[in-house]
Amino acid sequence: MPNSLLQLKVGSKQIHADLQIPLSELMAAWGLQDEAESISFLERYEPSLRQYLRQHFRPKTLQGQKWRVQVGDIDLLKTQNPINGAYSEIHAELELIPPKGADLRHFKLYYDVVVHQVVTHTIMVSTSQNLAKGKTERQLGTIQLDIPSGKILPLEVQLEKADTWASFSRMFQLGKEHIAAGTDHLLFLLAMLLPAPLLHSGRRWGAYGGLRYSLVRLLKVVSAFTLGHSLTLLIATLRWLNLPVQPIEILIAFSILVSAIHAFRPVFAGKELWIALIFGLIHGLAFAETLQQLDLDTPQLLLSLLGFNLGIEWMQLGIIGLCLPALLLLSQCAVYPLFRTLFAALVAIAAFAWMLERIAGQANFLTSAISSGIIYAPGFLIGMTLMAIGLYWREHKSSMFKLQNLKS
């Protein structure tokens, strides 16, 4: 028979409990057998169910003091597993609030929902997050009938204390993984960097502007993008701003398309800093989605935010550092206009494909090809670097040879 699942997550002052109860088991415990009642179960019995959960869900301190239990949202959902197939399940969210001064992480859970009547029933109890160890779930134990005593014994819950440094390190790693897998974010930044070493005149890109000129412009673009996404990452993660995901993802694809057009021909020459800042604000909203899904409390959230953001910056700067030498060398070669045009065209095609995918809500053959081809990115970077060194050496050697002939 299907089991009940109970996931506990530690907050700053309370524990959030996510409870899943198979409807067939709950109905059997209530003496309900009519199949038609399962269809309108919540509509008919929700007030009684709330009272029932409060009566049969009783956390206590080790000294026997009762916790306060608040029942939140209750839903009826369809689910399935390999053993039982498809079945209906009650999902309930509860807040467990200890007495003032009580240990939040060490308590006894007296729980006999369903099992007080259906004695074969089992409740699997786990903790849904353990950022310190990089896991999302850890089994705590089970609640079931103790056959020798004939009683339902409480489960002694002892949750690990948060390891601040380990949690920070995990979120730093998560930030690195997020940007490494964020092909769209990286393509935007690389497209913005393509014309950065070049002078501009009107609507055309000119020659290489020199090392100092290039580095200053690169630094401005990267700093503006970082500032932009850091601001909205903070605002959105703290839920001061809550926007739908789909429009954000479409705007990100649009920002990549704009940066590709700019790399081909100056659209906002001299204003790259402001464009990078504005589009950084949009990209930060997408970064925040990852932290919002973790549903952390504010103190833990701020630490996670710092670690996550630093992880993003570390990986971002690392990838830029790998690409930068090749870009600076190529921008001094005669082939750079062709390379810049081809790369900008590829970025524009990818951006257009992402826009179609995010508007339609389903992948197309171009986005599937991008996902499959991303594994070749390290090889492309190595090839681009070797090509840049070879072309620069050949043209520099030719220039030195001509200069020596003029002197002689």
Task: Find, among 213, 334, 196, the residue nearest to 276 by Cα.
Answer: 196
Q: Are residues 250 and 360 in the same domain?
A: yes
Q: Are residues 186 and 62 in the same domain?
A: no
Looking at the predicted structure, is the pLDDT value of residue 131 above 50? no
Q: Are residues 222 and 136 in the same domain?
A: no
The lowest-confidence range among 112-126, 152-166, 371-385 is 152-166
The residue written with tokens 């940007």 in the block is 179
Domain boundary among 120, 137, 158: 158
Q: Are residues 201 and 143 in the same domain?
A: no
**Model-wide pTM > 0.75:** no
Q: Are residues 111 and 151 in the same domain?
A: yes
pLDDT tens digit string along 18-41?
999 999 899 989 988 776 667 788
Q: What is the mean pLDDT of residues 103-120?
A: 91
Is 263 within 8 Å of 340 (Cβ atoms)? yes
Q: Are residues 224 and 204 in the same domain?
A: yes
Domain boundary among 102, 137, 158: 158
pLDDT band, residue 12 (cuts 50/70/90) = confident
Identify the pLDDT of residue 44: 87
61 or 363: which leads in pLDDT: 61
Q: Give me the number of domains the chain comprises.
A: 2
Q: Are residues 122 and 221 in the same domain?
A: no
pLDDT band, residue 81 (cuts 50/70/90) = low
Q: Which domain holds residue 41?
A: 4-158
Q: Are residues 153 and 174 in the same domain?
A: no
pLDDT tens digit string along 307-355?
888 888 898 888 888 888 998 999 988 899 999 999 999 999 999 999 9
Domain boundary among 158, 183, 203: 158
CA 34, CA 28: separation in Å to the nearest integer? 10
Is 367 within 8 Å of 354 (Cβ atoms)? yes
Q: What is the mean pLDDT of residues 162-182?
A: 76
Identify the pLDDT of residue 293: 61
CB atoms within 10 A of CB 72: 12
Q: Are residues 178 and 142 in the same domain?
A: no
Is 289 within 8 Å of 308 (Cβ atoms)? no
Q: What is the mean pLDDT of residues 202-214?
A: 86
pLDDT band, residue 108 (cuts 50/70/90) = very high
CA 303, CA 228: separation in Å to the nearest integer? 19
Q: Are residues 180 and 267 in the same domain?
A: yes
* Per-residue CA distances from 185 to 88, 198, 282, 405 (Å): 40, 22, 11, 48
Q: Are residues 188 and 114 in the same domain?
A: no
Identify the pLDDT of residue 57: 93
202 or 163: which leads in pLDDT: 202
Q: What is the mean pLDDT of residues 253-264?
A: 92
Q: Are residues 140 and 246 in the same domain?
A: no
